[in-house]
Amino acid sequence: MSSYAYGPPPLRNSVDMQLQSAFSDRNWSSVIRLAAKRFATFKDPYYEAIKICAESQLDGTPEKCAAIVAIDELVQSKKTPDLDTLELYEYACRDFLGYEVEYADGLGPLRARWVKANATSPLAVNCLQTCLEHWDLVSAQHIATTLDKTFANSSDRRFMFWSITLTFLLSISPQCTDASRKIYSMLAVRQLEKAADLTENSEKLEKTDRGLLSEEEVCLYYRVLLHHGTKEEFTSRIQSPKLGAIGQLKQGRKLLFCEALDALEKWGEWDQIYNLCREALTLGLEGTTTPFLVCDLRIWKKFASAASKATDTDAALSEVRNVLNKFIQLKDKANPMYKKNISLALLDTTFRLPSTDLNPNNDQSGLTPRVAQIGLYLDQYYERLAAFDDVKGYVAELSFEEVKTLLDDVLPKISGESPEKKSQIIIKAMESKLRYFLTTCPQTLSPSAATGEGKRKPFKCLFCSQPASLPCETCLKKIIADAAETYSQISADKELLAAIPELDRDPRLDLALAIGTSLLKLSGLRPYGSDATRSLWEDIKPSLLFQAVLLLDAQLKITPNDNGLRLLLVQLYLLLGCASYAHQLWVPMGVKRTIQDALSPLFFDRISTISPGLFHGTRPLMEPLQTYYSYTLRDPSPIRIWDAFSAGSYTSILDMNDYDKKLRTSCTLMMTLVEERRATRCFGGKIDFDIDDHPLTADIFDDTVLLNKTDYGSFTNLESVYSPPIQEYLRLGPGLSNERSHLSYLSEKYLDLLTYKPPQPYKPSKPTDAAARDRAYTIEVLSHVSETLTTLVQSQSSLPITPAEHTYYSILSLLSSAVLICLSTPRTNPSPPKTLSLLTSSIKSAAGTLRSGFNATSTEKVIASLTELHSTALARDTGIAIKLSAGFVLTWNDNENARDRSGRSALHREAIAEMKALEAAGVKVVGDVKAHFGKMKEGLGESGWLDRILEVTFPEGEEDEDFARAVQKIVGGGEEEEWAAKIADSWRDVVKGWVGVNW
Amino acid sequence: MANFRRFRPDDLNKLSKCNLDPLTETYELGFYLQYYAKWPSLFQVAEDQDGNIIGYIMGKLESSPDVYKFSEHYLPWHAHITAVTVAPEARRLGIGKMLTEQLEAAGDAGNAWFVDLFVRKTNYKAIKFYESMGYSIFRVVKDYYGEHSTDPTQDSEDAYDMRKPLKRDVKKEHIREDGEKHEVDPTDVW
């Protein structure tokens, strides 16, 4: 950031020692006195600027604003300012920048004006840097253009490309007026077109030539063209000999080639993709580039996809195979990664072949070339950790006959060929995963309806011939039985146990995951959204869910470094209400700094509704996240952007700008603010900022699209594309989204308004005027919140929120409308609009429904309540919002009565009566929730919880006793009680936290 | 399974396979972006077919500040490997080696004398890996790391500064055979 971040700017050397030392000692009153004297003596306005700068350090508002006034005068004067003076003013109003003072309205244009007059000064670049640091793109673009014109024939090419880059950045920025946008975009394109033409038409470019030389310059051209040019311009230039993708690739530059393929794919230009891939791969074979420069799987996949879409598919695919065969001949020289890529390319190409080529004789045996190719691949790579992920997409495309052959013939053959026990076990684990995977694939079901099971199981499973739907329960049971047997076999075999550390992955982990996820499916767990009104406990078979958790928890002890398993368990424990234990599992993963934005939602999303007590730890729970955003987004410019400018990394500039925008509008950022505020409010703590005034929400408006970037990449996912990924089954509700983030933001704005307390000493001199302004402001905010909330809540038939959230936001929308009516209905009206009573009766009715949802009278019901903490928390929040809203209106009325004894400013009597009734309804909801937590605490305080949890986990006389025995055998005796104790302790922690909140 | 390409900032949202591994350090955003801003071609990633990052290397090309020009510890123009990591699922496929070779090639293209890196003295696996690629110990930086990776009773750990000469160093002037005997303080490393 600018130098003033480290203190005031140095004064000119010509300034006398006395003033210099007073200034450096920050002895502001002396500085003011001395500077005034010097100004009177020398008539140099610089001394006036020193005086203004010193005055701005004093407490009085007029003095503080003197620099702002001086800047404004300079702007109006049209004179070229003095740079030292500008530095002083910039320091003087540093605290106002970005808030009361926009850099682009004063200091930026003044710096641009100075540069125009002093373009050859080395300080001109500093001015550019300063404008960029304040993200004043208009002034920065002006400065860059001046520099470019001044140094047009210089060998420092950066001036030209700074100017173009900034012209482009401005053209896509909200800082650009609509009228100028087209001009700037055309300017950027034309300048680059000219440079591109010069490059194409010159034998050799010198550094002083205004053509495109470096990879960064060339890629900048294409980025701009992609944004502002036409498809035809782009596709034509990308084929040119010098500046085309292949021309650049010949120089070892791969970036443009990759970006061109993405652009062409977006436009569906498959012929061009085909040609580019063929040419690029051939360059490697010919030795023009290093052989494997573009031998990436994505290139092969695009090549094969493009071939399969060609007019003459056979010829195109034959060419793909031809190129691939040449690479296969080079395979021995290749790095293992490229060998693997080539094997996968072979597999991928096989799957792109027309079905007539694949099975010309219509052989029903199932051993088709596709199966054979999967077999060949697995034969080479089955031991690798990623083998399952590598083939699963292809397995999902197989017919049932092919799948059957793969499982019954191919895998046993691979296993049989290896004399080693460990290899056989790895293949068995692979088989378990594949079998589970296939329960999520529709080709394993016969379309012909089975008899007896009705709508619930309308198909027949082709594996087991039983009535089924996806997933087939009979098959899941068999998977559990087989995997458990293999697991036990490993555990009992010392030779195998000794071999495990040498393997890529412990096969017991794969088996445990297959068993665990099968149990979860059998328990009845469903992806969120398929039944929006569900209560987890009512819908599932608790014993199977608990068995799955127990088994996976035991497995984590054996393989503690497996993050996929750990993440799975974190989600499961949150689902079960064991937030403190989930936190214990979460912490060792070390999610910190940069990766928090993508990974924190996996633990922190909705955490305040599960366990506000967690926020009362030794270190504030959300502090690392808050610190990350505050530090990273503290400046208006993208972090490190000047580094990219000074290094001439033009594509980096564009990408960093894009990333910065996304980070400032991240759903995780909003989640961080809202979760913290909700928890703080729970305990009656002080919230530092209104959410609207928080520096981190400065770039968020009603129409801002907030982005969810949650990274689920580390989840172990055994599901196929036909089934939702596993995290969808485990979440408390739909993931982060733009809609939910805006709803939570608006709700916080509303609560800020209700809970606003004016500073104590605030006594306006004209109370009536102040009250009128307060009223106008409050009505404006209420209108906005009410209208936006209502629009959002009613915008979609199925919002990505939980039912409890839906109730909460709907009631907030009704409340804000009701409060608005109360405040805006003059007392002189005969009565408030009828809408008010309609609104309040809807709210009261919803409150009544909320009250009927609490019951914690038995062990089962206590556990069920623990899986419904989120709904309970939202019920509490709703009750409190009702109380606050009604209280707000009643207090408003009291204040008005106190201020204006005539009673004319008071609110309408009927409105007051409605609010009193609402307040009572809110109090009842909150009271019920409080009592509910009290009962839960009482219930959990009773003895015998270990036995109770184990009874729920392993109930006697259940039809699924086989599973219970299998799980118990794997987990081992002592583990169960230890696990049950952890669950019980965590529940107690969570409920203790709830009992301690403000009611 | 893998694609090699230049890093882009959106990759930071896909780092979990690499960075949840306890051996991989996660830095502040500014640190990653500094490398992307200054040396974008030396920041390369390997991604899997779902776009997850399964390996990356961050490096730079630089020399010591001019003010140290006459110091015995002055480092001439060289490439430096700041971080190289491969996700557990993608190990034993030569990804680390390929990423390192790419950076060495960039070092050669940038006319650097050598590539260097720091590694914990007890990270035997990594040391073996670098030795297999032609790196040798140039010096030992005493107490370079603030904590010990394997011994909780120690509050610091030495680093090996390892080097590999590049094409420019025809006479192999920038490496030494007895590097283990040359100890320096962290303050001598810039």
User: How does DSSP assign A352-389, residue by residue?
Assistant: HS-HHHH-TT---SS--HHHHHHHHHHHHHTTSTTHHH
How would residue A158 be classed by pLDDT, with cut points 50, 70 and 90? very high
Angle at the Cα of A631 from the Cα atoms of A11 and B25, rounded to 5 degrees: 125
Residues A709/A752, Cβ–Cβ less than 8 Å: no
- Give the list of residues 6+ apart from residue A977 with CB closer than 8 angstroms, or none: A946, A950
Q: Which residues of chain A are within 8 Å of residue B34 when distances are taken between CB atoms?
A: 640, 643
Averaged pLDDT for residues A274-296: 96
Residues A798/A884, Cβ–Cβ less than 8 Å: no
User: How does DSSP assign A81-137, residue by residue?
Assistant: PPHHHHHHHHHHTTTTBTTTB-GGGTHHHHHHHHHHHSTTSTHHHHHHHHHHHTT-H
Q: Which residues of chain A are within 8 Å of residue B59 when distances are taken between CB atoms?
A: none
CA dihedral A584, A586, A592, A597 (to 10 degrees): -140
Give the C-alpha separation, B42 to B100, whole Å.
10
Rg (CA), chain B: 17
Q: Note whether B38 contacts A714, CB cutoff 8 Å.
A: no
Give the C-alpha separation, A283 to A492, whole Å.
55
This prediction has a pTM of: 0.96
Residue type, position A671, single letter: M
- The set of long-range contacts for A694-700, using a CB threshold of 8 Å and a minimum separation of 24, is A695/A630, A695/A633, A695/A634, A696/A629, A696/A630, A696/A633, A696/A664, A696/A669, A697/A670, A697/A673, A697/A745, A698/A98, A699/A661, A699/A664, A699/A665, A700/A664, A700/A665, A700/A670, A700/A745
Q: Note whether A590 contacts B20, CB cutoff 8 Å.
A: yes
pLDDT at A101: 83
Q: Give the residue from B45, B35, B38, B49 showing the smallest Cα distance to B1.
A: B49
Q: What length does chain A have?
A: 999
Tens of pLDDT, residues A598-610:
999 999 999 999 9
Query: Is the N-terminal amide bond of A442 cis, ω within 30° of 0?
Result: no
Give the C-alpha separation, A985 to A665, whole Å.
38
Tens of pLDDT, residues A364-400:
678 999 999 999 999 999 999 999 999 999 999 999 9
Q: β-strands B157-165, B136-145: how paired?
A: antiparallel
- Give the list of residues 6+ apart from residue B172 with CB closer than 8 angstroms, or none: B165
Tell me the C-alpha to C-alpha distance, in Å, between residue A678 and each of A71, A578, A624, A930, B24. Answer: 42, 19, 17, 17, 34
How far is the alpha carbon of A475 from chain B, nearest alpha carbon, in Å? Answer: 28
CB-nearest to A713 from B9, B52, B90 is B52
Residues A544/A963, Cβ–Cβ less than 8 Å: yes
Angle at the Cα of A702 from the Cα atoms of A697 and A703, rounded to 5 degrees: 110
Q: Note whether A297 contacts B1, CB cutoff 8 Å.
A: yes
Dihedral sign from CA coordinates of A447, A452, A455, A461:
negative
Nearest CA in chain B to A390: B1
Nearest CA in chain A to B10: A659
Averaged pLDDT for residues A794-809: 91
Buried b (16+ CB within 10 A) or exposed e, A48-67: bbbbbbbbbbeeeeebbbbb
User: Is B8 in the A-facing interface, judged by CB distances under 8 Å?
Assistant: yes
How far is the alpha carbon of B128 from chain A, nearest alpha carbon, in Å? Answer: 18
Greatest C-alpha distance within chain A = 106
Distance of CA A748 to the CA centre of its chain: 20
pLDDT at A830: 86
Residues A449/A459, Cβ–Cβ less than 8 Å: yes
Distance of CA A540 to the CA centre of its chain: 30
CB-nearest to B38 from A393, A638, A643 is A643
Q: How many CB atoms lie within 10 A of CB B181?
A: 10
Count CB pairs under 8 A between chains A and B: 161
A623 burial level (CB within 10 Å; 0-12, 13-18, 19+): exposed
Q: Does residue A173 surpass a pLDDT of 70?
A: yes
- The set of long-range contacts for B154-158, using a CB threshold of 8 Å and a minimum separation of 24, is B157/B120, B157/B121, B157/B122, B158/B120, B158/B121
pLDDT > 90 in chain A, percent? 85
Q: Does residue A486 surpass a pLDDT of 60?
A: yes
Give the C-alpha separation, A45 to A54, whole Å.
14
Tens of pLDDT, residues A618-635:
889 999 999 999 999 999
Mutate which of A292, A655, A656 to disrupt the B interface (most B C-beta within 10 Å)? A655
How far is the alpha carbon of B107 from chain A, nearest alpha carbon, in Å? Answer: 14
Angle at the Cα of A893 from the Cα atoms of A892 and A895, rounded to 5 degrees: 65
pLDDT > 70 in chain A, percent? 97
Distance of CA A856 to the CA centre of its chain: 36
Q: Note whether A597 contacts B6, CB cutoff 8 Å.
A: no
Which residues 52-91 of B are in CB contact (within 8 Å) with A?
52, 88-91
Greatest C-alpha distance within chain B = 50
Q: What length does chain B have?
A: 190
How would residue A529 be classed by pLDDT, with cut points 50, 70 and 90? low
CB-nearest to B38 from A340, A344, A649 is A649
Tens of pLDDT, residues B140-163:
999 999 888 888 899 999 999 999
Residues B129/B98, Cβ–Cβ less than 8 Å: no
What count of Cα atoms within 13 Å lies in the side-chain half-sphere of residue A102? Answer: 8
Tell me the C-alpha to C-alpha distance, in Å, between residue A790 and each of A318, A787, A817, A921, A954. Answer: 59, 5, 9, 22, 47
Q: How many CB atoms lie within 10 A of CB A94?
A: 17
Mutate which of B14, B16, B45, B125 to disrupt the A interface (most A C-beta within 10 Å)? B16
Buried b (16+ CB within 10 A) or exposed e, A265-303: eeeebbebbbbbbbbbbebbeeebbebbbbbbbbbbbbb
What count of Cα atoms within 13 Å lies in the side-chain half-sphere of residue A627? Answer: 9
Give the C-alpha separation, A301 to A426, whole Å.
28
Query: Which SS3 state, helix, strand or coil, does residue A298 take?
Result: helix
- Give the list of residues 6+ apart from residue B126 with CB closer than 8 angstroms, or none: B119, B120
CB-nearest to A297 from B2, B33, B97 is B2
Give the C-alpha separation, B157 to A889, whole Å.
64
How far is the alpha carbon of B148 from chain A, nearest alpha carbon, in Å? Answer: 17
Which H or E run includes A445? Answer: strand A445-446
How would residue A1 be classed by pLDDT, with cut points 50, 70 and 90? very low
Strand partners, B83: B58
Q: Does residue A968 surpass a pLDDT of 90?
A: yes
Tens of pLDDT, residues A327-347:
999 998 899 999 999 999 999
CB-nearest to A336 from B5, B12, B93 is B93
Q: Does residue A357 surpass a pLDDT of 80?
A: no
How far is the alpha carbon of A506 from chain B, nearest alpha carbon, in Å? Answer: 12
Residues A626/A676, Cβ–Cβ less than 8 Å: yes
How far is the alpha carbon of A536 from chain B, nearest alpha carbon, in Å? Answer: 29
Q: Note whether B16 contacts A595, CB cutoff 8 Å.
A: yes
Residues A865/A932, Cβ–Cβ less than 8 Å: yes
Q: Does residue A255 surpass a pLDDT of 60?
A: yes
Averaged pLDDT for residues A971-992: 94
- Which ranges of A178-296 does DSSP label H, i.e. alpha helix? 178-201, 215-228, 231-237, 245-250, 255-267, 270-286
Averaged pLDDT for residues B114-135: 96
Q: Give the residue from A564, A570, A519 showing the smallest Cα distance to A389.
A: A564
Q: Note whether A297 contacts B98, CB cutoff 8 Å.
A: no
Give the C-alpha separation, A311 to A425, whole Å.
46
pLDDT at A855: 76
Give the C-alpha separation, B137 to A228, whole Å.
52
- Give the list of residues 6+ apart from residue B144 with CB closer than 8 angstroms, or none: B118, B156, B157, B158, B159, B186, B189
pLDDT at A100: 75
What count of Cα atoms within 13 Å lies in the side-chain half-sphere of residue A509? Answer: 21
User: Is B102 in the A-facing interface, judged by CB distances under 8 Å?
Assistant: no
A382 burial level (CB within 10 Å; 0-12, 13-18, 19+): buried
What count of Cα atoms within 13 Å lies in the side-chain half-sphere of residue A885? Answer: 36
Query: Which SS3 state, helix, strand or coil, does residue A266 take?
Result: helix
> What does DSSP assign to residue A332?
G
Q: Note whether B17 contacts A714, CB cutoff 8 Å.
A: yes
**The sheet that has B3-6: what strands, in order across it?**
B3-6, B43-47, B53-62, B78-86, B114-120, B157-165, B136-145, B183-184
Give the C-alpha separation, B169 to B152, whole Å.
40
Q: Does residue A448 surpass a pLDDT of 80?
A: no
Q: Which residues of chain B are within 8 Å of residue A384 when distances are taken between CB atoms?
A: 92-93
Nearest CA in chain A to B43: A652
Query: Which SS3 state, helix, strand or coil, does residue B112 take?
Result: coil
CA dihedral A931, A932, A938, A941 (to 10 degrees): -140
